[in-house]
Structure 1
Amino acid sequence: MLLLHINGSTIEKAETQREMKKAKTVVMGVKDRYSEWKSMVGVLYDWLANHNLVWPSLSCRWGPLLEQATYKNRHRLYLSEQTDGSVPNTLVVANVEVVKPRVAAAEHISQFNEESRSPFVKKYKTIIHPGEVNRIRELRQNSKIVATHTDSPEVFIWDLETQPNRQALLGAPTSRPDLVLTGHDDNAEYALAMCPTEPFVLSGGKDKYVVLWSIQDHIASLAAESGSNVKHSKSSQKATESPSVGPRGIFHGHTNTVEDVQFCPSSALEFCSVGDDSCLIFWDARVGSVPAAKVNKAHDGDIHCVDWNPHDINFILTGSADNTVKMFDRRKLNSEGVGSPVYKFEGHEAAILCVQWCPDKSSVFGSSAEDGFLNIWDHEKVGQTSGPHRASAPSGLFFRHAGHRDKVVDFHWNAFDPWTIVSVSDDCECTSGGGTLQVWRMIDLIYRPEKEVLAELDTYRTQILGSTP
């Protein structure tokens, strides 16, 4: 103890050693958890492809279904590459083959190498992005058109079919966006959405604004160009030379950075937003630029993400730095815009980064977090205590994907391939600085109705239990 008071450098050294020991303990915990998960892959999953990424990806989104074959489907996939500056940041278009349900053998999906690239994921096109890609969103009416957020006030619109394929070499000029959306006064990094019913784009940023655009005219011109086989010039052009569109509306109500936005599934003029002010705000563009309803202190921390149920437009999910997911019912907000969540889901050990409703079942949703887990919940199961291990599990949680070794920064359900998910993690602390992309589908015995599953298992009783004397 006397030595610590005399020698300041010894104090610093001791602190460093404690931090290293703590980090080592965390890494060992992750390794043990991952090893246990990997040993169960053949039992828990109907399909899984593990793809090592050279660079971390901050966003991943499914594009269109390209081809259906006897045993597998081929899909487009969009993802980002966040580099260290030695090569440019890129927006990647890939083709992914997803094996159909009940086709892959358990032994096959279990035998993958974490440091290898999956043969089922193949890069199709590279676009050199002006800055790192923080968020990707596809246009529902034409999923070949996407919007991207970077560390700037602008939103970029890309036609990924007509964009030329580029080589990501140091010093290479950036690709030219098809359209630039202007209207923010400060950087807009993460909050981004595209409307499911109209070609509208929504964004939020550090300026505390929510900004709405219509890209109807631009979409029409792109369709005309594609029909006449007009190609983009491959010459060097800056992003600022792209055509630009100003906002249809700017909405004021947040008091801190807007972290996420989402359209109402049935309306292009109704939407919601969340931010670092811990507020959930509902907007209606038909009645002005002020909040239609506002839930103050919806969480006990910054709110990172929000999603609106496409099956029941009354339910909204929010995910926060307070490690919880909350579900709100917009019918239960009072005239002052105050409301309590229908339920608070507690099953993560770190900040929530992404929430999304399942397109195949209205009560199911997923949440990913900095703890490395991607949890699958069913709010209809909240309060159920029957079944093995149910009492000790967080209420509503029925599946936990533990295949990532660091924070799961993004995931996306596949609308064309039921119960199939793509997820990406930033594995810098566990690997040599890259990331991991996984395409996976849990075994259907987990989510199908219990009576139906038991009836099917009963037909295989002899095979499962072996012959009885």
Structure 2
Amino acid sequence: MVRSLKNPKKAKRKNKGSKRGDGSSSSNSTPSMPAKVWQPGVDVLEEGEELQCDPSAYNSLHAFHIGWPCLSFDVVRDSLGLVRTEFPHTIYCVTGTQAHNAPNSIGVFKISNISGKRRELLPSKTSNADTDMDSDSSDSDDDDDVENDGPKAPVFQVRKVFHEGCVNRIRAMTQKPHICASWGDTGHVQIWDVSSHLNAMAESETKISKDATTISNQTPLVKFTGHKDEGYAIDWSPLVPGRLVSGDCKNCIHLWEPASDSTWNVGDKPFVGHTASVEDLQWSPTEPFVFASSSVDKTIAIWDTRTGKSPATAIKAHETDVNVISWNRLASCMLASGSDDGTFSIRDLRMLKEGDSVVAHFQYHKHPITSIEWSPHEASTLAVTSSDNQLTIWDLSLERDEEEEAEFKAKTQEEVHAPTNLPPQLLFVHQGQKDLKELHWHTQIPGMLISTAADGFNILMPSNIESNLPPNAAAS
């Protein structure tokens, strides 16, 4: 169980990125020293060395913050196109702050003019020297850096709504993106309508300072006080608009059913089956009455709301707390889970009755898994964040091909100082954020990931994350 952001102060950051085998390299002032791949947890920086971001590893990379650290956020579905592949991009998100000595807020933000460029998977020496990646690596306290970047700098707008207590987790409804639910450390779950803020930003291209201190007061649509402790687990149904589940640290799960556009009926009697804190919840992408939960008791449970308040089945999933789960919406038989010991597993739910449902298990990370999410565009791809300050992307369909690797090395005509002991499924490693907490894929922009950490947010589009979508598939 790893959650709290322990440093509530604004932190300065430095971008460090990496490609498969890690595109961040160590270098010093000696020109003849070749750059080598940096292995987190293995390599140690020598005196005079520093990590450098390899810009060719990204199609786009930007950093930003909204003032205070945010433990959780969600991407807000917009009307700008179902599949967008051309730069510049625009995104909308909601988040919540973790300020322990200042007023907390829900942040609704829009970032437009997100620039970047498609990069070749087989870079030439000329393209390797190309360092015009538009990456906003400005200090947290300085807005002028963004302004001085010229026309390529992203335009940031944010509006803040007062929130009682820290926001443990926040989720936007897919079917009605202006409706979001927040879990507070006060023990309350609240439903908010942020449509006025989204509409105001949609109509304006004017930059609003990232350090804006104005926090508006707004009454939530619903404030549920039935949980007996704070919590982190919450999820909207992808199939039934307005259906919600919320789980707390006292092992109780409550089901929310929409009664109207602005009211919900929340069951007084909770779903109980775990013996410790409920850490995460995920609705089935195909069954409207089925959801999954994970717990500090090391188990994953599957529930059917039609058959009572006890789980339909429960399994021991890991040797330590099961922090996060993700249900694959493109392959609904697959459920991913991440644990406190740094491992994550993939299960085939069709094999639960047979006892051994694990189809993949990875021990790459050495610190707790804090977030895990399947790609909305590739059924075999998922992304993971860990307390080891790494965001990793995995493609389960990959296997090592020595002939292909030799061919790649011959085409680049360069000596690649890359480790040979990495799992073949490891597609990308991103570094540079401190105390990573949560990531989300953008469902409408293939290949885009957004992550939050103690020192702010990153938007990244790795150059080797390809989709099966045609290059001109952008929707109007």
Does TM, scored on the shorter chain, surpass 0.5?
A: yes
Partner Cα distance (1:424, 1:125) in 2: 18
Asked if the contact 1:67–1:73 (Cα under 8 Å) also holds between the matched residues in 2, the reply is no
Partner of 2:20: none
Partner of 1:109: 134
Partner Cα distance (1:152, 1:303) in 2: 23
Structure with bigger gyration radius: 1
Partner of 1:283: 303
Check if 1:122 corresponds to 2:147: no
* Aligned positions of 1:52-63 closer than 5 A: 52-63=65-76
Asked if the contact 1:365–1:376 (Cα under 8 Å) also holds between the matched residues in 2, the reply is yes
Note the C-alpha offset of 1:280: 0.5
Note the C-alpha offset of 1:174: 5.3
User: What whole-Å deviation, never above 9, does each CA across 1:101-159 have from its counterpart, x for those lacking one?
Assistant: 53998414257334445552523311011111111111010111111111133211111
2:88 to 68, 72, 83: 72
User: What whole-Å deviation, never above 9, does each CA across 1:195-217 have from its counterpart, x for those lacking one?
Assistant: 111121111112211221112x3
Measured at CA, do residues 272 and 438 of structure 1 come closer, stay the same or move farther in structure 2, by a change above 3 Å?
A: same
Note the C-alpha offset of 1:245: 3.8
Q: Secondary structure at the match of 2:319?
A: coil
Partner Cα distance (2:191, 2:93) in 1: 17
Check if 1:309 corresponds to 2:328: yes
Partner of 2:439: 411
Check if 1:347 corresponds to 2:364: yes
Partner of 2:62: 49
Partner of 1:424: 452
Partner Cα distance (2:367, 2:390) in 1: 9
Partner Cα distance (1:30, 1:96) in 2: 35
Q: Which deviates more from structure 2 when the two are superposed, residues 279-288 or residues 148-157? A: 148-157
Partner of 1:89: 104
Partner of 1:229: none
Partner Cα distance (2:67, 2:48) in 1: 23
Check if 1:191 corresponds to 2:233: yes
Asked if the contact 2:367–2:386 (Cα under 8 Å) also holds between the matched residues in 1, the reply is yes
The number of equivalent residue pairs is 384
Measured at CA, do residues 310 and 245 of structure 1 come closer, stay the same or move farther in structure 2, by a change above 3 Å?
A: same
Q: Which deviates more from structure 2 when the two are superposed, residues 246-255 or residues 380-389? A: 380-389
Measured at CA, do residues 36 and 77 of structure 1 come closer, stay the same or move farther in structure 2, by a change above 3 Å?
A: same
Check if 1:247 corresponds to 2:281: no
Measured at CA, do residues 331 and 108 of structure 1 come closer, stay the same or move farther in structure 2, by a change above 3 Å?
A: closer
Q: Which deviates more from structure 2 when the two are superposed, residues 254-263 or residues 61-70? A: 61-70
Note the C-alpha offset of 1:184: 2.0
Asked if the contact 1:196–1:265 (Cα under 8 Å) also holds between the matched residues in 2, the reply is yes
User: What whole-Å deviation, never above 9, does each CA across 1:292-311 have from its counterpart, x for those lacking one?
Assistant: 11112x11111110010001
Asked if the contact 1:260–1:305 (Cα under 8 Å) also holds between the matched residues in 2, the reply is yes
User: What whole-Å deviation, never above 9, does each CA across 1:258-306 have from its counterpart, x for those lacking one?
Assistant: 000100011221000001000010111112211111112x111111100
**Contiguous gaps of at least 5 residues in structure 2:** 1-40, 121-129, 147-152, 201-210, 407-417, 471-476
Partner of 1:176: 219
Asked if the contact 1:46–1:106 (Cα under 8 Å) also holds between the matched residues in 2, the reply is no
* Aligned positions of 1:93-242 closer than 5 A: 93-97=108-112, 98-99=114-115, 101-102=117-118, 106-110=131-135, 112-115=137-140, 116-117=142-143, 118=146, 119-120=153-154, 122-162=156-196, 175-187=218-230, 189-198=231-240, 199-215=242-258, 217-219=259-261, 222=262
Q: Which has the higher contact order (CA 8 A, sep 6+)?
A: 2
Q: Secondary structure at the match of 1:65?
A: coil
2:392 to 326, 350, 375: 375
Asked if the contact 2:77–2:174 (Cα under 8 Å) also holds between the matched residues in 1, the reply is no
Asked if the contact 2:251–2:276 (Cα under 8 Å) also holds between the matched residues in 1, the reply is yes
Q: Secondary structure at the match of 2:78?
A: strand
Amino acid across the alignment from 2:138: N
Amino acid across the alignment from 1:246: V
Partner of 2:375: 358
Amino acid across the alignment from 2:192: W
Q: Secondary structure at the match of 1:332?
A: helix
Asked if the contact 1:314–1:330 (Cα under 8 Å) also holds between the matched residues in 2, the reply is yes
Partner Cα distance (2:48, 2:463) in 1: 20
Note the C-alpha offset of 1:37: 4.4
* Aligned positions of 1:291-302 closer than 5 A: 291-296=311-316, 298-302=317-321
Partner Cα distance (1:380, 1:106) in 2: 32
Note the C-alpha offset of 1:168: 8.4
Note the C-alpha offset of 1:191: 0.5
Check if 1:387 corresponds to 2:405: yes
Asked if the contact 1:153–1:182 (Cα under 8 Å) also holds between the matched residues in 2, the reply is yes
Asked if the contact 1:94–1:121 (Cα under 8 Å) also holds between the matched residues in 2, the reply is no
Amino acid across the alignment from 1:49: H
Q: TM-score under structure 1 normalisation?
A: 0.74
Asked if the contact 1:191–1:204 (Cα under 8 Å) also holds between the matched residues in 2, the reply is yes
Measured at CA, do residues 155 and 391 of structure 1 come closer, stay the same or move farther in structure 2, by a change above 3 Å?
A: same
Partner of 1:396: 425
Note the C-alpha offset of 1:353: 0.4
Partner Cα distance (1:257, 1:368) in 2: 21
Asked if the contact 1:50–1:114 (Cα under 8 Å) also holds between the matched residues in 2, the reply is no
Q: TM-score under structure 2 normalisation?
A: 0.73
Check if 1:320 corresponds to 2:339: yes
Measured at CA, do residues 287 and 339 of structure 1 come closer, stay the same or move farther in structure 2, by a change above 3 Å?
A: farther
Q: Cα RMSD over matched residues?
A: 3.4
Amino acid across the alignment from 2:222: L
Amino acid across the alignment from 2:395: D
Measured at CA, do residues 203 and 168 of structure 1 come closer, stay the same or move farther in structure 2, by a change above 3 Å?
A: farther
User: Among the aligned pairs, what percent are the same residue?
Assistant: 25
Amino acid across the alignment from 1:60: F
Measured at CA, do residues 333 and 56 of structure 1 come closer, stay the same or move farther in structure 2, by a change above 3 Å?
A: same
